[in-house]
Structure 1
Amino acid sequence: MIPKTPPFAWTAKAYIAIASVLLAVVFGLGVALSPSRTPTVAVIGDRADEVRTALGIAQSDDATVTIVLLNRWDSLRHLPDIAELCWDACHFGAAAQIALTQMRFSKTRKVVVFHLPDFENDLACVVERARFEAQALRAAFPACKTNAARLAVWILPMGLGRIS
């Protein structure tokens, strides 16, 4: 005969529930107690000086938002860290504007790649879109050049993959 489990006994389900609650509390405390970061912006690539002056920002070495301007997709080979981050979205030219958000605990980084020929070299539109992207992680879509698509790619922490 199999002995019956008493109703007060701990089960694996209870242990998993307690561990999940503890992890959620630790994560919540980490987010709540982490210092706020003021967003810093770096603009690199073709015609970067013009866009930087139009945005009215100073170049930052440790930027939370990096704006990359390309005249050709092939230019990514000169930026290997961004090419690796962008992966197939940039290599196939999936959209005129690709917003890559690399989620890391208290160090989230955003890289926005603009393919200038898709904007017909309209720097005013590129500057407007870059300003929207620099303001928030989930940027709104401005009204200029609505035919130039925006692709958002979220890169999950710890190598868990990508969501696009």
Structure 2
Amino acid sequence: MTLRAAVIAGLLLFPLTAVVLLAMGRPPLCPCGTVLLWTPADNVAESSQHIADWYAPSHVVHGLLFYFGLWLVLRSRPRPELGFYALAIEAAWEILENTPIVIERYREATLAMGYAGDSVINSLFDLVWTVFGILIAMRAPVWLSVTLAIALELVALWAIRDNLALNVLMLLWPIEAIKAWQLGAPG
């Protein structure tokens, strides 16, 4: 896949993802009627409804990880093709993440008890943050990508007591002690 073909195919993933999410009944914008550049951590009701929130860094990490994983498996494929595949995985995740079963799993297993799923604008910007991670992974040395991923994870952990690693752990294998710590209970 050429760079041009990968860019065109990647750009087509944005409206395709939006159409699927809208067909699933996801709101295009925050039901609150505003569009914010940033949703602070204490605004749980509007989390994942605006352009960015404390989970945006995890989508950069998605891009780094998806690209690196694909590079390990499909090393002979051109970089733009791997970048497109990484973005396609993220688009598929954005759709899966907004299904009722995954939304309910977030509510019961993680600290996101009031989570209502993403607005379409949030999901599309999650794809944008993933593109940043993919572009970094395509161009930066592996050590820099790893350092960036760790730094982003630590910043999110410090800011909101959550990050991609904890999110995945709590979705797949919830640990009550971690959930209590995330909710601020003494532990």
The normalised TM-score by structure 1 is 0.29
With a CA cutoff of 8 Å and minimum separation of 6, indicate the structure with the bigger relative contact order: 2
| Larger relative strand fraction | 1
Structure 2 length as normaliser, TM-score?
0.26
